[in-house]
Structure 1
C-alpha cells in the first residue's frame, strides 16, 4: 500500500476559544488603548521670523493684492484667452496635477493605518490513499476558511505623526501647483507684452525705413542736380542699409518669442494672435502690497516651504516614537471541517497580542532620530531663507515699478524733443542753413528715442507683472 498525503497539523488538538467570549473584551481594550494613547513629540510651531513692520520700508497699505484677480488686472481679452489656455494645457501644470493625485493617494494609504486590516484565506485539499493491485481508493477531503485581523495600536502617536507628515507632503504639492500657476500667468503676460513691444519696434523701424528710402531719393536728385556732394548721397545709402539690417533681427526675435509663448501654452510653435497694441495696454501705476504677515500667507512658495518644515517636524515625531515598543493585535477566525457540509459548524478563534520592542536596534533608531532632527533644522533655515528671498523680491519689484515709471516719463520727453529736433533740422536743410548730415543725425536720434520709449513702456508693464507675481497676486 502506497500512501500519498500532505502534512497538516491537527487543528482539533488546538485549543478553541469561542469568539463571543473574548471578542468584546479585545475590542474594548483596543479602543481604550487607541483613544487614550498619548502623542509623544513636539508639535509644530512656526519659527519667529522677526518680520519688518512694512514691506518696502514705507507706509504699507493694509489692502491686499489678492483682492485683484488676474482677469481684472489683464484686461486684454486676447491675453486672457492665452492665460486660460496655458493654465489648462501647460505640461508643467498637468505634471503638478498628477503629482497632487499621487500625494493624495499616499495620504490615504497613511490614514488607513488607523484602522485594522483584514485578509481572507480559503483552502481545500484531499488526502488520497492507493492500494497496490487494486483500483480501490479512499479519500479524506479537508476544507477551511480563515479571516485574519491585524491592528497596530497607536500608543505613542507613531501613526499620527506619519499621517501628519503625509498630509504636509500633500499640501506641498498643492502649494507647488499654486506657485506654478502664478509663474505661468506672469510668464504668459510678460511674453505677450514683450511680443507686442517687438511688433511696435518693428513698425517703428519699417516707418523709419520708408523715411530713409525717401531721403535717399531726395539726396540722389539733389546730387544729380549739383546741389549737394556725393558724400551726402552715400551717407543716405549707409543709413538706409543700416536700418534694413534691423528688420531681420526683429523678425527673428518675434518668431522666437512666439515659440516661447507656444511652449507655455502647451503647444507646438505657431503664430500668436495679438489684441491691443502696446500703447493701449493699461495696468495700474501701483499695487497694494499689504502687510508683511499677509505676504507670508499669500505666497504659495512660502507656504510650500512651511509645509516642508511641518513634514520634517512630523518625521522627527515618527523617529522619536520608533524608540518605543509597538503593540499589534492579531486574530484569526475561521471554519474547518472534513466534510463540506459541516464547514460552518466548526468555528475557531485565535487571539494574539504582539509586542515589538526595538531592543537590538536602539542605536540605529537613535541615530535615525538625530538624522530627522538635523533635517528639521535644515528645513528651518530653508524656510527662513525663502521668506527673506520673498521680501527681497517684493522690495526689488516695488523699486522697479517706481523707476520704470520715471524712465518711461523721461523717454517720453526725449521722444518729443527728438521729433522737434528732426523737424527743425529738415526745415534748416531745405532752406540751406545746414547740411544733410544734420538731418541724418536727427533721424537717428528720433529712431533711438522711439525705440527707447517703446522699451520703457514695455518695461513698465513688465514691472507691474512681476510685482503682481511677487506679491502673490492671482491666487
Structure 2
C-alpha cells in the first residue's frame, strides 16, 4: 500500500559519508560511545518496549493455535449409596474430546497475519525507541559538556571582573573614576556570579537526567570526564527520500500497522460467512475402576454455523475496520511526511547554524579588539569607563553565546542522524521472520 502523498523531491543537501546504524560512533568520542551503550543496556523504558514486543509475539503464537484442534481430557468419579444406585451405576467416567474449526474462508489465517504485522510493528517500535534513547543520551551528554564549559567560562569571567573591580577602586581613590562606574562594574560582577549559579544548577540537573537514562538513581555520581565538543563529522549521505521510508523504523512500524488493519478488515468481512467446526468425543464409563476401559463410546459431529440476522452488527464491524484502515493509512502518510521534514529541517538548520557561528566568532574577535582599544583610551583619559564596561559585558555575552551556538550545532547534527537512522540491531531482540 502506498502512502497517500505526492512523490518527494531530493533533499536539499547531502554528504558522501555512509551513516552507520550506530550513528553516535561518527563523533569519534569514546566517552559518548560508552555511555550510549550503557543506556541501551540498562534503560527501563527501552526494556518495557522489549516486553511489549515479546507480548506481541505471544499473541501471534496464541492466534496460530486456532489452526490446531483443541484436545481436552475429562475424568469424573462419584460414589452412590445404596448400591446399586438408582440409575444403575455409572459413577466413574473418563474421556477425550477434540474440536476443530475448518478455516473455510481464511478468517483464522487473516487474524494470524494481522497479529504478525502488529508484532513486526512492535519490533520496529522497539528499534525506534532505541534510537530515541541513544539520541536523548547524546543530547544530554553534550548539554552537560556545554554546561561545564559555561561554568568554566563564568569562573574565568568572575576572576576577570574581580580584577577590574580592584583596579578601578584603586583609580577611584585617585579621583580618576566616578563612584557610579564602580557600581556598574559590581553589577557586571554579580551578573557573572549569577551565571555561575545557573550553570552549576544545570550541571546537576543534567547529571540527574543522564542517570535516569542509565536507569540509575539521581543521587549516583556519574563519571563524565569530557569537557569539549568533538569535531563535527562530515555531512552524511542523505540518499533519496524513498530510501528513508525503507530505512526508518518508525515509518516501517506505521506501514505494518496499515497491513494489520487491512487484515483486520478481512477478518470482519469473513465473519459474515458460514463456519464449519468438527467435534470428536470418546468416553469410557463404569461402576468399577477395573472395567473402566472395557466399554467406549465415540461421537463425531459436524456443526455448520451461518449468521442470518445480526441486526447489522457484522456489517457495522466491517465499516469500522475499514475506517480504521483508512485512519492508519493516513497516519502512515503523515509519518512519512514528518520523516522527510525532519531531515530537511536538520540540513537547513545546520547550514544556517554554521553561518551563525562564523558571525559570532567574527563579532567576538571584533569585540576583543574594541576592548583593547577602549582600555588604552581609558587609561589615557580619552574615553569614559562606561564604554569599556559596555564592551566588556558584550564580549562576555558573546563568549557564552558562542558555546551555546556550538552546542546547538552538535544537537542539530544529532537530530539529523536521528532522522536518517535505520534500525539498531540489538542482541536482546531479533527481528521476527514470518512466512
**Cα distance per residue 1:37-64 (max 9 Å; x no partner):** xxxxxxxx3446433141x245x56875
Partner of 1:275: 225
Alignment RMSD, CA only? 2.3
Residue among 163, 174, 184 paired with 1:214? 163
- Deviation of 1:447 after TM superposition, in Å, equals 0.4
Aligned length: 422
Residue among 204, 215, 232 paired with 2:181? 232
**Cα distance per residue 1:3-47 (max 9 Å; x no partner):** xxxxxxxxxxxxxxxxxxxxxxxxxxxxxxxxxxxxxxxxxx344
Q: Does residue 1:150 correspond to 2:99, yes or no?
A: yes
**Cα distance per residue 1:361-409 (max 9 Å; x no partner):** 2621111111111111111111111111111111111111111111112
Partner of 2:71: 118
Q: Does residue 1:75 correspond to 2:28, yes or no?
A: yes
Structure 1 pair 474/192, CA: closer, same or farther in 2 (3 Å)? Answer: farther
Q: 1:127·1:141 contact (CA, 8 Å) conserved in 2?
A: no
Partner of 1:265: 214
Q: Distance in 2 between matches of 1:444 and 1:285?
A: 35
Partner of 1:50: 6
**Cα distance per residue 1:405-458 (max 9 Å; x no partner):** 111122122222222222222233333333322222221121011111111111
TM (normalized to structure 1)? Answer: 0.83
- Deviation of 1:242 after TM superposition, in Å, equals 2.4
Partner of 1:89: 42
Matches within 5 A, 1:436-455: 436-455=385-404
Residue among 165, 173, 194 paired with 1:245? 194
2:62 is paired with a residue of what secondary structure?
helix
Q: 2:154·2:195 contact (CA, 8 Å) conserved in 1?
A: yes
Q: Distance in 1 between matches of 2:262 and 2:312?
A: 21
Q: 1:323·1:362 contact (CA, 8 Å) conserved in 2?
A: no
Q: Distance in 2 between matches of 1:180 and 1:347?
A: 58
Partner of 1:325: 274
- Deviation of 1:190 after TM superposition, in Å, equals 0.8
1:118 is paired with a residue of what secondary structure?
strand
Residue among 421, 445, 469 paired with 2:370? 421
Residue among 132, 142, 147 paired with 1:193? 142
Q: Does residue 1:339 correspond to 2:288, yes or no?
A: yes
Structure index of larger Rg: 1
- Deviation of 1:182 after TM superposition, in Å, equals 0.9
Unpaired runs of 5+ in structure 2? Answer: 425-435
Q: Does residue 1:375 correspond to 2:375, yes or no?
A: no
Residue among 54, 74, 89 paired with 1:101? 54
Q: 2:60·2:115 contact (CA, 8 Å) conserved in 1?
A: yes
1:150 is paired with a residue of what secondary structure?
strand
**Cα distance per residue 1:112-133 (max 9 Å; x no partner):** 11111100011223333279xx
Structure 1 pair 363/226, CA: closer, same or farther in 2 (3 Å)? Answer: closer
- Deviation of 1:341 after TM superposition, in Å, equals 2.2
2:96 is paired with a residue of what secondary structure?
strand
Q: Does residue 1:366 correspond to 2:315, yes or no?
A: yes
1:126 is paired with a residue of what secondary structure?
coil
1:344 is paired with a residue of what secondary structure?
coil
Matches within 5 A, 1:136-175: 140=89, 142-175=91-124
- Deviation of 1:141 after TM superposition, in Å, equals 5.9
Structure 1 pair 124/366, CA: closer, same or farther in 2 (3 Å)? Answer: same
**Cα distance per residue 1:328-348 (max 9 Å; x no partner):** 111012323333222222233
Matches within 5 A, 1:343-354: 343-354=292-303
TM (normalized to structure 2)? Answer: 0.91
Q: 2:95·2:283 contact (CA, 8 Å) conserved in 1?
A: yes
Partner of 2:243: 294
Q: Distance in 2 between matches of 1:353 and 1:236?
A: 97
Structure 1 pair 46/352, CA: closer, same or farther in 2 (3 Å)? Answer: farther
Which segment drifts farther, 143-152 or 357-366? 357-366
**Cα distance per residue 1:48-107 (max 9 Å; x no partner):** 6433141x245x568753x35235224322222221222222221121111112111111
Structure 1 pair 122/381, CA: closer, same or farther in 2 (3 Å)? Answer: same
Structure 1 pair 362/320, CA: closer, same or farther in 2 (3 Å)? Answer: farther
